[in-house]
């Protein structure tokens, strides 16, 4: 199995970044594919336990995903499993968001996704870019 690792620097404090990557109202603003909305969901990465959501595409297609929050260490890290049942084969991976102060009032952010194949690393690196760009814009607008 392979691992995807992506790093970003955000101007926002670690506390603000942590809130945006764990709290439902913030996650729903940036997470997921472009032009899709989240319908039914129990999306809360602030505490251990199950989570799920269904993305709805412009054509009305539904794309469920879910998993379990494994650990939460505010404002430093959250780790969760993610299963995407509509894929063939089903993708079961572990995602970790790590946030550390960057020394200038902002944050260093590391996304790690493990338990995936080499092909999925390539797909994942493309798939996370849009959401992380949206996250950055939201954080910039809120500071």
Q: 34: which 2 tokens?
A: 């472009």
Boundaries of every domain in the chain: 2-142
**Which pLDDT does position 139 carry in this prediction?**
97
Question: What order do you get walking across the sheet with 62-73 strand by strand?
Answer: 2-10, 107-116, 91-101, 77-84, 62-73, 49-56, 37-42
Q: How many CB atoms lie within 10 A of CB 37?
A: 12
Three-class DSSP category at 61: coil
- Distance, first Cα to last Cα, the chain: 38
CATH number of 2-142: 3.30.530.20
Predicted TM-score of the model (pTM): 0.92
CA distance readout (Å), 38 to 8, 23, 30, 60? 25, 14, 10, 11
pLDDT one-digit tens code per residue, 5-43? 999 999 999 999 999 999 999 999 999 888 888 887 899
């Amino acid at each position: 199995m392979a691992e995807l690792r992506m790093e970003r620097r955000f101007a926002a404090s670690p506390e603000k970044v942590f809130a945006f990557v764990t709290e439902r109202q913030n996650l729903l603003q940036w997470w997921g594919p472009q032009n899709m909305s989240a319908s039914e969901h129990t999306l809360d990465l602030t505490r251990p336990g199950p989570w799920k959501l269904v993305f709805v595409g412009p054509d009305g297609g539904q794309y469920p995903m879910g998993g379990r929050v494994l650990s939460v260490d505010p404002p430093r890290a959250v780790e969760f499993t993610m299963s995407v049942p509509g894929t063939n084969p089903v993708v079961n991976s572990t995602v970790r968001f790590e946030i550390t102060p960057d020394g200038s009032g902002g944050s260093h952010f590391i996304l790690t996704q493990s338990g995936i194949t080499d092909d999925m690393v390539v797909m994942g690196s493309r798939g996370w870019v849009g959401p992380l760009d949206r996250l950055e814009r939201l954080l910039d607008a809120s500071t």
